[in-house]
């Protein structure tokens, strides 16, 4: 795990503003794939997970864990992808993920400051 990526704070940067969340998602994603891999790739809201990033399943799982540790239960990546059909899944972008964290679906936990149980973050 990259020491530069906090995994225990739950507050949302910039009070939950989409640009702040996007920047944090990009930072976490960079920690997952490594800066060396991203030397020729610029990550932005339109960057697709299946495109230039080509995340492996283990990296996707790592990303999910880091997002949940950072943003709490409202960053539920498995729930996000479970609700997508194949075409939507293949088109999933970094911006889509940031939007999901900023504005989770109805019924998802909204509190960013809720304490995490010791086993919730891996």
Domain that holds residue 96: 15-102
The pLDDT of residue 50 is above 70: yes
Has residue 2 been placed in a domain?
no
pLDDT digits (tens, 9 = 90+) for 65-118: 999 999 998 899 999 999 899 999 999 999 999 999 998 766 555 444 443 333
- Determine the pLDDT at residue 108: 52
- Of 8 and 83, the structure prediction assigns the larger pLDDT to 83
Q: Residue 52: give its domain's CATH number.
A: 1.10.1200
Has residue 62 been placed in a domain?
yes
- Of 58 and 37, the structure prediction assigns the larger pLDDT to 58
Has residue 34 been placed in a domain?
yes
Has residue 96 been placed in a domain?
yes
Q: Domain tally for the chain? A: 1
Has residue 82 been placed in a domain?
yes
- Residue 34 DSSP one-character state: -
């Amino acid at each position: 795990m990259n020491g530069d990526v906090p995994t225990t704070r739950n507050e949302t940067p910039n009070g939950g503003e989409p640009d702040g969340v996007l920047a944090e998602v990009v930072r976490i994603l960079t920690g997952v794939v490594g800066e060396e891999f991203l030397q020729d790739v610029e990550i932005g809201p339109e960057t697709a997970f299946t495109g230039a990033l080509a995340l492996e399943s283990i990296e996707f799982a790592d990303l999910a864990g880091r997002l949940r540790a950072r943003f709490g239960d409202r960053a539920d990546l498995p729930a996000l992808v479970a609700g997508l059909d194949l075409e939507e899944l293949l088109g999933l972008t970094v911006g889509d993920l940031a939007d999901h964290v900023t504005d989770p679906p109805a019924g998802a936990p909204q509190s960013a400051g809720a304490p995490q149980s010791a086993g919730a973050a891996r």
